[in-house]
Amino acid sequence: MKRLYALLLVSGLMITSLELFAQKRYINEVFTDADVEVTTDITYATNIDFLRSSRLSTTSQSRIVNELTTLKTAVGTGQPVPATHLNPADTSSVIKVQQIKMDVYAPKASADTATERAVIIFLHTGNFLPAPINGSPLGNKNDSSAIVLCQGWAKRGYVAISADYRLGWNPLASGPTGEFERRGTLLNAVYRSIQDVKQCVANLKAEAAASNPYKIDPDKIVLYGEGTGAYITLAYNSLDKYSEIELTQFLNPLTQKSFVDTTVVGRIDGSGGASSLTLYGAPKASTEISAVVAAGGALADTSWLEAGDAPIIALQCIRDPFAPFDGGTVIVPTTQEDVVDVQGANVYMKKAVALGLNKAFVDMPDDVYTAAARAKYGKTYDYIFPAPLDKITLNDGLEGLFPVDVKAGASLFQNQAGPWQWWDPESPLAKYEVSTGVTAHMASLQSNPDMSPAKGRAYVDTIQGYVTPRLAVALGFYTTAELSTRSISALSGKVFPNPASGSLNIEMSNGLLIKSAKILDLNGRVLLSTELVNSSSTNFDLSSLKDGYYFLQIDTDSGLATQKVVVSH
């Protein structure tokens, strides 16, 4: 039985925010909202907009070459792009051009004296189609999760960038060659987006070598992709040879050549010859990055991964029906037609660990997030398909991966896919009818049924809690030893009885005061909490908890401490 996955490319987990370490830049929020400034709609690159250049296939080669010459001359000499090429409705030009934008979030100069700050580039979800045509209110640099994540990174001291990229493919191609057209147009969309992001990285580095307007460290740039954006980050990190797009699944059966023709779309770095449909030249600086984070998504093929690639941090729902957690075939959700085979986090993270890409994470301290992730490695879970595919076993030692065990939905496509995402149900994008009587809001609720800002922000807090310590280690800001957590007993505290049934007591015997205390489940979700204790003792009524293992975390005037507790009624 073939495993099929829909192409919405989003997944997630829900854990409420915790501060696990002492205040450290790049891990904790050391600035406030008022300390962060946002500069919007900065053009970082200009290139051909394939989504709106619909007449290319029916236009003479000579006209295309003439327009290309005009455009390449303008871009190459720093002149404005002729207005006719920027207006999709203007029929006097065939080639349409997109000015690709980004928003920059950064601590204000009045609050931050650092002159070389690490960078995180956020790449949104969206199925390589604009919202709501993609069936969702989401899919641009202004998505709610993008704004809150970038704001949070800026408060931690990063320069955070939410970047758009070029869209466009044909998911509705049908007929005898429809599968090949769907696959080819999607692979080219991924390829073009990699070119865009490489320009973003290279241009940031080139600016840093000159005026450095954003005060960045060009040697510490991270890519963070959500859903579709995760596919881009994973491919960016691993696709570096043309032979890698000549694997069997990337060949057009009608021609036995790669669907991605570099003579047409340019080389991986975006550059190309005079007749290539790209306006990029060679990048102005290195396109190397320091780490990638994939929230959902999948990798086209693990053979792309090699020693020397950047570390990978991944977060994915075990039962995500829209991107394979193991391996499978991506499909178009509306028609359920095949697109391309890919490999999910359970597969590519095993290869990443084997190659040593994630060796920096092996010694991460066993905080609640790390413990929750590691507790799932090697375990077998109920899966989303009928027998014999009704079980899935996670690989062991997947350091850097947070597998998310979300309760199974009533049907395949009702399994949670993007619970960290949220949107305004009353927005025009949400109210758009993607089919008769079905709005984008209604369609997206199927895999995110209890969507809300509170739920989405809780997921974002969890992502920050798991990801930022690992990024800080990968970027060389801290060692794992510097992030170590302490047990409550190491602070001369007592937790009793343990196992517990009705009540759990915490007492500090060395004069330390407890500021707050929390009980969390094995997914790191806060179940019970008490704030502003300011006492050497506190307790919890556990009567509402089911039997099982939990984490206790306390914040004292000597820092944080954790301990595992057992509830047994």
State how beta strands 514-520 and 548-556 pair. Answer: antiparallel
Whole-number pLDDT of residue 15: 31
If you write DSSP's letter for every residue of 102-168 in order, what string do you get? EEEEEE-TTT---SSEEEEEEE--STTS-TTTTSSS--STT-HHHHHHHHHHHHTT-EEEEE-----
What is the spatial distance between Cα 491 and Cα 306, in angstroms, rounded to a whole number?
Answer: 44
Task: State which H helix or E strand residue 465 sits in.
Answer: helix 453-474
**Which residues are CB-neighbours of 436 under 8 A, at least 6 positions away?**
none
Whole-number pLDDT of residue 562: 83
In the predicted model, is pLDDT for residue 20 greater than 70? no
Residue with the bigger pLDDT between 103 and 489: it is 103
pLDDT band at residue 473 using 50, 70 and 90 as cut-offs:
very high
In the predicted model, is pLDDT for residue 9 greater than 70? no
As a whole number of angstroms, the longest Cα–Cα distance in the chain is 84
Query: How does pLDDT run across 347-387, given as a tens digit for each residue?
Result: 999 999 999 999 999 999 888 889 889 999 999 999 988 88
Average the pLDDT over 242-264 and give the result: 93
CB contact at 8 A, 475 and 220: yes
Count helices and strands (H / E) in the chain.
10, 25
Which domains, from first to last, does the chain contain?
4-47+100-474 (3.40.50.1820), 53-95 (no CATH), 486-567 (2.60.40.730)
Whole-number pLDDT of residue 419: 84
| C-alpha dist (Å) from residue 213 to 5, 10, 122, 249, 561 | 42, 33, 19, 43, 40
Whole-number pLDDT of residue 231: 96
Residue with the bigger pLDDT between 21 and 534: it is 534
What is the spatial distance between Cα 399 and Cα 395, in angstroms, rounded to a whole number?
Answer: 10
Average the pLDDT over 237-259 and give the result: 94
Whole-number pLDDT of residue 369: 87
Average the pLDDT over 428-457 and give the result: 94
In the predicted model, is pLDDT for residue 529 greater than 60? yes
Q: How far is CA 71 from the centre of its chain?
A: 33
Average the pLDDT over 401-419 and give the result: 87
In the predicted model, is pLDDT for residue 6 greater than 60? no
pLDDT band at residue 8 using 50, 70 and 90 as cut-offs:
very low
Residue in this structure with the two tokens 């984070």, named with its chain if needed: 293
What are 532's two structure tokens? Answer: 């502003």
CB contact at 8 A, 279 and 71: yes
Average the pLDDT over 212-217 and give the result: 97
**Which residues are CB-neighbours of 450 under 8 A, at least 6 positions away?**
419
Radius of gyration of the CA atoms of the chain, in A:
24
| C-alpha dist (Å) from residue 227 to 126, 230, 385, 418 | 7, 5, 22, 8
| C-alpha dist (Å) from residue 346 to 150, 232, 236, 298, 495 | 27, 18, 19, 10, 36
Task: State which H helix or E strand residue 205 sits in.
Answer: helix 178-209
Whole-number pLDDT of residue 384: 87
CB contact at 8 A, 544 and 502: no
Average the pLDDT over 544-548 and give the result: 89
If you write DSSP's letter for every residue of 38-98 in order, what string do you get? EEEEEEEEEEE-TTT-TTGGGS-HHHHHHHHHHHHHHHHTTPPPPGGGT-TT-TT-S--EE
CB contact at 8 A, 499 and 537: no
State how beta strands 159-163 and 216-226 pair. Answer: unpaired
Using alpha carbons, select from 278, 204, 195 the residue that is nearest to residue 239: 195
CB contact at 8 A, 477 and 25: yes
State how beta strands 36-48 and 548-556 pair. Answer: unpaired
Query: Helix 228-238 vs helix 178-209: angle between axes, to the nearest 10 degrees?
Result: 70
Q: How far is CA 491 from the centre of its chain?
A: 37
480 exposed, middle or buried (CB, 10 Å; 0-12, 13-18, 19+)?
middle
Whole-number pLDDT of residue 333: 67
In the predicted model, is pLDDT for residue 471 greater than 70? yes
pLDDT band at residue 24 using 50, 70 and 90 as cut-offs:
confident
Using alpha carbons, select from 144, 117, 115 the residue that is nearest to residue 25: 117
How much is the mean pLDDT over the chain?
A: 90
Average the pLDDT over 325-333 and give the result: 82
Query: How does pLDDT run across 30-64, given as a tens digit for each residue?
Result: 899 999 999 999 999 999 999 999 888 889 999 99
Whole-prediction pTM value? 0.86
Average the pLDDT over 461-485 and give the result: 91
Range from 341-350, 458-467, 541-550 that averages highest in pLDDT: 341-350
Average the pLDDT over 1-9 and give the result: 41
Coil vs helix vs strand at 391: strand
pLDDT band at residue 513 using 50, 70 and 90 as cut-offs:
very high
| C-alpha dist (Å) from residue 157 to 25, 113, 207, 311, 358 | 6, 10, 19, 21, 23
% of the chain residues with pLDDT over 90:
71
Whole-number pLDDT of residue 524: 62
What are 334's two structure tokens? Answer: 């509306």
In the predicted model, is pLDDT for residue 3 greater than 60? no
Using alpha carbons, select from 448, 384, 392, 393 the residue that is nearest to residue 421: 448
Cβ neighbour number for residue 74 with a 10 Å cutoff: 17
In the predicted model, is pLDDT for residue 508 greater than 90? yes
What is the spatial distance between Cα 174 and Cα 306, in angstroms, rounded to a whole number?
Answer: 36
In the predicted model, is pLDDT for residue 337 greater than 90? no
Average the pLDDT over 438-452 and give the result: 94
Coil vs helix vs strand at 369: helix
Which range is least confidently modeled, 31-35, 242-246, 294-298, 481-485?
481-485
pLDDT band at residue 23 using 50, 70 and 90 as cut-offs:
low
Residue with the bigger pLDDT between 367 and 145: it is 145
